[in-house]
Structure 1
């Protein structure tokens, strides 16, 4: 996988690929700077409560890649930050840097803080949307709160990927595990099969093994791309972002009130069409159903629908508008990234401008 393709996958949730700035070579190591500046305005229209408008440039991010070859081994280091850390100084416009990625790659081995194995099994085959808190809804990688475990180890070769990652369950005796295989055809189609296994905490310090299987596909049909994914299994709610207690970020529950693991099943479908060389549009729907939910959760199925138009004013500058609707509260909203805030059920409209470098 070349550098530009890899960066595009890393930033697929931003709805566009990235071209890095070549900083040159020093002592046999190539340095590249990448990222984007994104400004957005979001109009929130919750099903309950008043409408609200908010603006932000906090998604803006930058990254540095260093890569070279030593003693016949390909080496790469990647670090990326954005501005989603809150700074408690009383100002609404002062925010701290947040570490998004920091990893090292040696040939086929990658280790550090980066996307989990579920993400790599589904995101490259998904359509792209603007919603910062919505990419992957309906897939096994739909929960952005745990999309980058503190430590991930990937081994990838010839379409196969084996991943061991920092477990979500604090008392787990072994890492969360994902194995996947992705097949890409000469016609531009792609198919991915993934199997996951993780230790799920139940009651009184006990645990059980939860396992899930995922299928993802993407079809290239001229100027149109179609994406279809589905998964089912136990122990995946925390990664999918919907479980017994609804959506609670990293606290999404994989067990019911009796401490028994529940099954969740998700699906998504999306289509992107390139209308002109500068204008493209996307429709996407995703849902996750929990086998059972807490009495405080009004619906056992989370649903999210998205529609957007992106206009590439220049190759580096995009303007976009996105409409989205969801039936239940979920991850923090872009309007207020605080630990207690949520994205309420209802509709949103986002307008944005993004300059990529």
Structure 2
């Protein structure tokens, strides 16, 4: 087929009208993972918990020890971005990204999985509207790990719809509210979660201080059952360069911040009598990455979480910790082969004042090419 007719057809498309003012780009990566996991108290049935470390899925007293091998390419992703010059040195940016962690096929035949929305937002003149990382989260502090998230019990990790305004190093956002742990997990109040973050540059350190204030809500079956309380939290995170190596860290503390930390391992609040009682959460991780040479590097990562509930609460994660070490090789730019060993212990409430724990050991193999 000749190329000329195709070029003429492309020129007739509506999007070609503004092609001179719009820059189009796409990216993403292909990632294949294999995980050999040993569980102290039986198989983790949750699909995501089998792919990466999800603390709440490691439950005590399920069944005898099990070992499972899982292989998947579901975390592969694709994104599309446009930047349109609108004059006066300003531009409109759009961004959308999908991965394949949605529902879909099984491991018997097809291994097909549905696309899942990760990001979809518009930016103009300091204003961002859409879905992306929470303003309470610092993506730049996430350590390099073969695991999809790494020390997930100890890091802020959340994407959601929001309206954010950035003024230099300060950003303020109104984000989607949702309360977990009391009634159903879809209880939303009338007030958005309010977040603020501030970037700090100090020598070789890039730091972010963030704060969160939110209304926690329980919607009962009767009008008189409705109750609310206030949640709040603070986070300090960052990266410190030590020559070619880097030290990354994050520390979070607050009341009613469970949905934001540890992949929801801790409930935001519990209904105790007629009152809504917020859960207290403290979480932190530290990571050191060393470059052996231009191709090889390793990270050593430790993470922890501790939660405190009202005395009447009988279930929930109380403590979690993990350690992981990895070896990564990039023989060419953007291509990475990696192996990682991790061990995690999670303690759960099993009644009033009683706890039990379970553990996981995992060897992780990964191959990733970004484009």
TM range (shorter): 0.7 to 0.9
Matches of 2:78 and 2:142, distance apart in 1: 23
Contact 2:153–2:263 at 8 Å: present in 1 too?
A: no
Residue 137 of structure 1, CA deviation? 3.5
Alignment pair present for 1:263 and 2:273: no
Matches of 2:309 and 2:188, distance apart in 1: 25
Matches of 1:313 and 1:231, distance apart in 2: 36
- The residue aligned with 1:96 is 114
- The residue aligned with 1:156 is 166
Query: CA 1:354 to 1:329, structure 2 compared with 1: closer, same or farther past 3 Å?
Result: farther
Larger radius of gyration: 2
Query: CA 1:329 to 1:321, structure 2 compared with 1: closer, same or farther past 3 Å?
Result: farther
Instruction: Say which SS state the counterpart of residue 327 (structure 1) adopts.
Output: strand
- The residue aligned with 1:194 is 210
Contact 1:231–1:267 at 8 Å: present in 2 too?
A: yes
Q: Deviations over 1:250-287 (max 9, x none)?
A: xx412245131121111111111111111111111111
Instruction: Say which SS state the counterpart of residue 278 (structure 2) adopts.
Output: coil
Instruction: Give 5+ residue unaligned stretches, structure 2.
Output: 1-17, 42-64, 180-186, 349-357
Instruction: Say which SS state the counterpart of residue 27 (structure 1) adopts.
Output: helix
Matches of 1:257 and 1:315, distance apart in 2: 52
Residue 354 of structure 1, CA deviation? 0.7
Matches of 1:205 and 1:313, distance apart in 2: 58
- Give the 5 Å matches for 1:42-191: 42-48=35-41, 49-72=65-88, 73-87=90-104, 91=109, 93-119=111-137, 122-134=138-150, 136-139=152-155, 141-142=156-157, 147-149=158-160, 151-169=161-179, 170-185=187-202, 187-191=203-207
Alignment pair present for 1:210 and 2:231: yes
Alignment pair present for 1:346 and 2:360: yes
Alignment pair present for 1:314 and 2:332: yes
Q: Deviations over 1:146-202 (max 9, x none)?
A: x221x21221232111111111133311111111111123x4311221110111125
- The residue aligned with 1:7 is none
Task: Report the TM-score, using the length of structure 2 for normalisation.
Answer: 0.76
Matches of 1:227 and 1:318, distance apart in 2: 20
Residue 352 of structure 1, CA deviation? 0.9
Aligned length: 303
Matches of 2:360 and 2:152, distance apart in 1: 19
Alignment pair present for 1:221 and 2:239: no
- The residue aligned with 2:45 is none
Instruction: Give 5+ residue unaligned stretches, structure 1.
Output: 1-24, 331-343
Residue 291 of structure 1, CA deviation? 1.4
Contact 2:101–2:114 at 8 Å: present in 1 too?
A: yes
Matches of 1:346 and 1:55, distance apart in 2: 17
- The residue aligned with 2:23 is 30
Contact 2:32–2:72 at 8 Å: present in 1 too?
A: yes
Residue 56 of structure 1, CA deviation? 0.7
Alignment pair present for 1:233 and 2:254: yes
RMSD: 2.3
* Alignment equivalent of 1:295, drawn from 305, 310, 314: 314
Residue 98 of structure 1, CA deviation? 0.9
Task: Report the TM-score, using the length of structure 1 for normalisation.
Answer: 0.79
Runs of 4+ aligned residues of structure 1 deviating over 6 Å after TM superposition are: none
Query: CA 1:239 to 1:183, structure 2 compared with 1: closer, same or farther past 3 Å?
Result: same
- The residue aligned with 2:48 is none
Query: CA 1:267 to 1:154, structure 2 compared with 1: closer, same or farther past 3 Å?
Result: same
Contact 1:102–1:113 at 8 Å: present in 2 too?
A: yes
Alignment pair present for 1:356 and 2:360: no
- The residue aligned with 1:341 is none
Instruction: Say which SS state the counterpart of residue 124 (structure 1) adopts.
Output: helix
